[in-house]
Amino acid sequence: MGSATKLALAVFLFSCSSGAILGRSETQECVFYNSSWEKERTNRSGIEVCSGEKDKRRHCFSTWKNNSGTIEIVKQGCWLDDVNCYDSGECVERKDSPEVFFCCCEGNMCNEKIYYSPDTQAVQTTLNPYPPKPELCSTLLYSLVPIMGIAAILLFSFWMYRHHKLAYPPVLVPTQDPGPTPPSPLLGQKPLQLLEVKARGRFGCVWKAQLLNEHVAVKIFPIQNKQSWQNEYEIYCISGMKHENLLNFIGAEKRGNGMDIELWLITSYHEKGSLTDYLKANVVSWNELCHIAQTFARGLAYLHEDIPGLKDGHKPAIAHRDIKSKNILMKTNLTACIADFGLALKFEAGKSAGDTHGQVGTRRYMAPEVLEGAINFQRDAFLRIDMYAVGLVLWELAFRCTAADGPVDEYALPFEEEVGQHPSLEDMQEVVVHKKLRPTLREYWQKHTGLAMLCETIEECWDHEAEARLSAGCVEERIITMQRQTNLIAPDDILTVVTMVTNLDYPPKESSL
């Protein structure tokens, strides 16, 4: 082998390995195809521009069938954040002889070619035909496979070490049937018309829909996210889940057949959207902040509480596990209600809590013990994880409040100043666990009696020690006390604020968890 050839080989290997280490491909566009385009009233084929939450990855996917040697593409397009697709530059199906083939990948248009792993041959389709690779290229590829395999094993081992074996629920391949349709007590045969997409999340999209003469929200899950749909449906069906500050559940439906199955959850619709959306477009007064925070805390306190003896049975304690402003919806009077129970856990005496994967939720809102992977898998530990996120939501409200004598900044996510809009797990571990940083509490907030009290409550919610955090019920009591005390203060009493704060009788700090 000549020196030039050796140099080229070295450069090639270095570029491959350094590319894997230094970063991942950002997926902006994917090949789009829908075999049911006429029925679903979409384009048949083209390019789909991917969108999603700022701190989530985006991928491409393909599903296809092999009918006696003829490849039939079913669907192609953008895919939501999925750990099974991370750092995969090619769309490869790795299951042995599935009825329906599925693959996902990262990188622009990476689903243009699809592969089946047993023979690693590119599947030729009428949509995306490709000529066979030149013989020289194939020879080089086969000669480099052993070296690349060793490098891949080393990189994978390093990745597993750094990520502490991230635990995410496995993706269900679209060949699995979701089982019998659960009952929809209020739907029956009433006509339901989808109007417009209002939001996209990790497990599906949310539509505004018309049910007779009222608007409802329809959360649509693709079949591969059956587990999240099933879990959320089961949580809604628990005794005692009807509460003013929990999103009202109407029914569940299975729509379509075969590969076109969609799983629907129908709930009440709230025009103002999420707390995130509201704070982006609006500032809040002190009384509005107190109302939002109090109703949010009341809903979470009810969710966390174990309540026997209800008319429809025993309501167990439930941990939400994905508390964030995006999952708090605003009613027209600014009353908060908690939504999205796809990751929630119920705790019943003598029974297992079920799938207790530790590192789930949204990275930005993960408690220190979750980021460390050091969770005590007991009920109180999960409730305290929720309370850490409550501190961050209260900070978001304070950040957009007009009560203090100072500037009100544009809306920002928690830790956006520290880690930006797309933090990795390592970014959050460094900031939250190692440096023990929290979002900045502005100095001029301390000049307002109520905000000063709120800052103390926030700090006790996001305390690094889980056992020191307040309970949701205690937070609700604190906010009621704050509002009552600030309403008693007249303008002439401003000089006595320091004394009042010092002598104020708070509800007890001890967590009731």
Residue ranges matching CATH 1.10.510.10 in the chain: 271-488
CATH of domain 271-488: 1.10.510.10
Catalytic choice (55, 322, 386, 463): 322
On whether the CB atoms of residues 393 and 296 are closer than 8 A, the answer is: yes
Q: 137 to each of 112, 123, 142, 151, 310, how far by Cα in Å? A: 20, 18, 9, 20, 70
Delimit the CATH 2.10.60.10 region(s) of the chain.
29-116
CA 75 – CA 124 distance, rounded (Å): 15
Asked if pLDDT for residue 7 goes beyond 70, the answer is no
Greatest mean pLDDT among 46-60, 166-180, 222-236? 222-236
pLDDT for residue 142 is more than 70: no
Is a pLDDT exceeding 80 seen at residue 353?
no
Domain with CATH 3.30.200.20 in the chain: 191-269
- What are 246's strand-pairing partners? 338
DSSP 409-448: PPP--TTHHHH-SS--HHHHIIIIIIS-------GGGGGS
Class of domain 29-116: mainly beta
191-269 has CATH 3.30.200.20 classification = yes
Dihedral over alpha carbons 451, 454, 456, 462 (to 10 degrees): -130
Structure confidence by residue, pLDDT tens digits, 443-476: 999 999 999 999 999 999 999 999 999 999 999 9
- 94 by DSSP, 3-state: which? coil
Residue 162 binned pLDDT confidence (cut-offs 50, 70, 90): low
Q: Is 18's pLDDT higher than 60?
A: no
Tell me the C-alpha distance between 247 and 233, whole Å.
12
322 is an active site residue: yes
Going by pLDDT thresholds of 50, 70 and 90, the confidence category of residue 139 is low
Q: In terms of Cα–Cα distance, which of 292, 347, 340 is closest to 318? A: 347
